[in-house]
Amino acid sequence: MSEATGLAGSVRLELVDGVVHLDPAGAMLEAMLQGWERQQRTRFLSEEGTIKPRVSLVRRLVGFTNEYPWNWSPADGEAFIAHLRSPNRKQPIVMSTGRGYETTLALFMDFITDRRYGWAAECLERFGQVPQQIFHEDNRVAHVLEHEGQPGRRPLTYDEVQALFDAVDGRVEEVRARGRKGALTAMRDAALLKTVYAFGLRRNETRMLDLADRRRQPKMPQYEQYGGLFVRYGKASNGSPPKRRTVLTVHEMDWIVDVLDHWVTEVRRAFRPGRLPALFVTERSSRMSLRGLNTAFEQARKAAGLPEELDLHALRHSYVTHLVEFGYPEKFVSLQVGHDHASTTAIYTGVSDEYRTRLVLNALKNRHPDLWEDQ
């Protein structure tokens, strides 16, 4: 075996001397992937959210090329991305996804070509091939725009938000009128979607809310225990644990107080959750799944006749946009939604033409008050 240091993920830790494998190439691939997993764990990266998807992508490229990583060339990586973005596919990947895939595969190739880990020398000794980087500056998607989201994904207007909530409330009445099961589920979905919008939450943040995460506002005692929500599973970054923040109930959306109080004190109990701490629960007395949240939105969106490109995350964009239009300071909005940088909040904002017109008129009034005295 070639010499390599005892770094986490190195050849020395993943391969055992003197063992003869029936499938040497396959065993080498598995050892590489195990080593890469180990190396990422030492950086405290998320197992489910980061490490497993990355390893899965490498396996997909192995299956696509029918070759092992030490045989890959840049042309293989390019062909893989071209295949995934082909218009003939049912769901071609978008530019940002393609860039993410290229970055992941480049990270893996950096790992196995780094001499400190010993994989390149081992491949040369065993297979006569040295792995090479397959994605470089000239064949990767260039990042030329600050935001590359799909144009169809946008904040909902006030009328669209109302239509969505009318549709989900209407489903409750429809189920009841027909005497069918599902009224409790419909009521839960109504409370769930309204909570996402009223606090600008992400999917997993909503899913992981517990009853204990309800917060009081000392200066807003009328909200009682619904003065805010303590988000404990905010979006993590760079291997950090989930970020935490408290999202305050704003005056314009304090209708959510009655919605949540009704859900907790009356409807949720009917699900018989027992000691389950989750705020939103299923008919099986378990915590809501991410797919369950998506399904709740999709059903309401279809019933409201809203465009298909709108998804649950659009409610978060709507929250940011509407807070800005309500006149809340930029810093406050960023703190509410858990953004470290105001530029990220700006990407989420899609203010209406009416709001822009109002800003222009106010600016003109301030600069030229004499022109508006008689109006």
What is d(CA 106, CA 39) in angstroms, rounded to the nearest whole number? 15
Per-state percent for the chain, helix, strand, coil, to nearest 5: 60, 5, 35
pLDDT at 194 (0 to 100): 97
Per-residue pLDDT, averaged over 185-193, amounts to 95
Residue 249's φ and ψ, nearest 5 degrees, are -75, 125
Residue 254: pLDDT above 80? Answer: yes
Per-residue pLDDT, averaged over 12-17, amounts to 82
pTM: 0.68
Element (H, E) at 363: helix 353-367
pLDDT at 137 (0 to 100): 84
What is d(CA 184, CA 186) in angstroms, rounded to the nearest whole number? 5
Residue 149: pLDDT above 80? Answer: no
Closest listed residue to residue 281, CA positions, set 217, 207, 355? 207
237 Rama class: left (phi>0) / alpha (psi -120 to 50) / beta:
beta
Given a contact cutoff of 8 angstroms between Cβ atoms, the answer to whether 336 and 323 are in contact is yes
Residue 94: pLDDT above 60? Answer: yes
Query: Confidence band (pLDDT; 50, 70, 90) for 45?
Result: confident
Query: Confidence band (pLDDT; 50, 70, 90) for 241?
Result: confident
Per-residue pLDDT, averaged over 18-35, amounts to 87
What is d(CA 69, CA 132) in angstroms, rounded to the nearest whole number? 8
Closest listed residue to residue 296, CA positions, set 162, 152, 169? 169
- 24-41 helix and 95-113 helix, angle to the nearest 10 degrees: 100
The percent of residues above 90 in pLDDT, for the chain, comes to: 64
Each residue's pLDDT tens digit, 191-207: 999 999 999 999 999 99
Each residue's pLDDT tens digit, 100-134: 999 999 999 999 999 999 999 999 999 999 999 99
pLDDT at 179 (0 to 100): 66
What is d(CA 225, CA 142) in angstroms, rounded to the nearest whole number? 48
**Sign, CA torsion 77/83/84/85:** positive
Edge-to-edge order in the sheet of strand 243-248: 214-215, 228-234, 243-248
pLDDT at 12 (0 to 100): 87
pLDDT at 49 (0 to 100): 84
Residue 227: pLDDT above 70? Answer: yes
Element (H, E) at 13: helix 11-14
Residue 211: pLDDT above 90? Answer: yes
The mean predicted confidence, pLDDT, of the chain is: 87
